[in-house]
């Protein structure tokens, strides 16, 4: 039994509130225990200069992400990032962008840019993985808002994406670490997967002594259990707006 009475394979309680703000076509407030992240997805009809092509009909879209921890999200207060982003935030937003780009057919998206913004309101472990899981829901809502402008014969979103942390705490593989567990973990892994069980990215560190392949496999198996649960939660949150991947359509 863990300090919060969870079993090793248990997620923290997850709460999802879609359409949390009205300015962005996709917005989700997602909570895992005390960790709380606001994820928004915005769509622009312009592309980065390096994506420009002479023939607009051949243009392919892009997705980028930004991540920030608000000053009141931690104790002591985290300084606001003004002129220069710290290395941790830069690394995390790149992870979010890479992960969510794996879900998008950019040719079907056409000459559009999607911006995913993840702002941490309270941090108690797992902010990067929760940002990816919530960011995907916001992305689905943003794409759905322009479904009438998209090709009817192919899917812009080709797979679902979710992420979860796993680690070794007191010699035991555990799922969805909070800050207390993460700060003392012997191994810390962040795993990004598709809803069909394919790996997108794995980030892992031995915080002390090296760990065995057997322990790695146990953690990856545990992550797959968590991703299955998160995918089900994403699908329940989106309801009839869950993209019908089976038909390869976004309608």
> Could you report the per-residue pLDDT of 102-139, keeping only the tens digit for each?
999 999 999 999 999 999 999 999 999 999 999 999 99
Q: Going by C-beta distance under 8 Å and a sequence separation of 6 or more, which residues neighbour residue 236? A: none
Note the pLDDT of residue 245: 66
Note the pLDDT of residue 243: 86
Token pair for 7: 């079993």
Dmax (CA) of the chain: 60
Note the pLDDT of residue 160: 96
Note the pLDDT of residue 247: 47
Note the pLDDT of residue 249: 37
Domains of the chain in start order, with CATH, are 14-247 (3.30.230.70)
End-to-end CA distance of the chain: 44
pLDDT digits (tens, 9 = 90+) for 182-207: 999 999 999 999 999 999 999 999 98
Note the pLDDT of residue 236: 97
Note the pLDDT of residue 57: 78
DSSP 84-132: S--HHHHHHHHHHHHHHHTTB-HHHH-S-EEEEEEEEEE-SS-HHHHHH
pTM for this model (two decimals): 0.94
Note the pLDDT of residue 251: 35
d(CA 177, CA 185): 9
Say if residues 173 and 218 touch (Cβ distance below 8 Å): yes
Per-residue pLDDT of the chain (251 residues; tens, 9 = 90+): 899 999 999 999 999 999 999 999 999 999 999 999 999 999 999 999 998 887 877 889 999 999 999 999 988 898 887 767 788 899 999 999 999 999 999 999 999 999 999 999 999 999 999 999 999 999 999 999 999 998 887 889 999 999 999 999 999 999 999 999 999 999 999 999 999 999 999 999 998 899 999 999 999 999 999 999 999 999 999 999 998 765 443 43
């Amino acid at each position: 039994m863990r300090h919060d009475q969870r079993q090793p394979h248990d997620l923290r309680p997850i709460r999802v509130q879609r359409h949390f703000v009205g300015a962005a076509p996709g917005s989700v407030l997602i909570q895992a225990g005390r960790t709380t992240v606001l994820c928004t997805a915005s769509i622009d009809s312009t592309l980065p200069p390096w994506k420009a092509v002479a023939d607009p009909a051949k243009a392919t879209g892009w997705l980028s992400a930004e991540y920030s921890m608000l000053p009141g999200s931690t104790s002591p207060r985290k300084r606001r990032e003004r002129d220069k982003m710290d290395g941790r935030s830069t690394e995390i937003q790149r992870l979010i962008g890479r992960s969510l780009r794996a879900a998008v057919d950019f040719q079907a998206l056409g000459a559009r840019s999607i911006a995913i913004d993840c702002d941490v309101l309270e941090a108690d472990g797992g902010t990067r993985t929760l940002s990816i899981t919530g960011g995907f829901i916001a992305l689905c809502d943003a794409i759905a808002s322009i479904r009438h402008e998209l090709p009817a014969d192919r899917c812009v979103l080709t797979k679902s994406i979710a992420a979860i942390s796993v680690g070794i705490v007191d010699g035991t593989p555990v799922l969805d670490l909070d800050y207390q567990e993460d700060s003392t973990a012997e191994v810390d892994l962040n795993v990004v997967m598709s809803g069909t069980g394919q790996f997108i990215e794995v980030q892992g560190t031995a915080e002390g002594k090296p760990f065995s392949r057997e322990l790695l496999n146990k953690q990856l198996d545990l992550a797959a259990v968590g991703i299955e649960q998160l995918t089900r939660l994403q699908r329940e949150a989106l309801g009839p707006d869950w993209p019908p991947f089976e038909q390869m359509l976004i309608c």
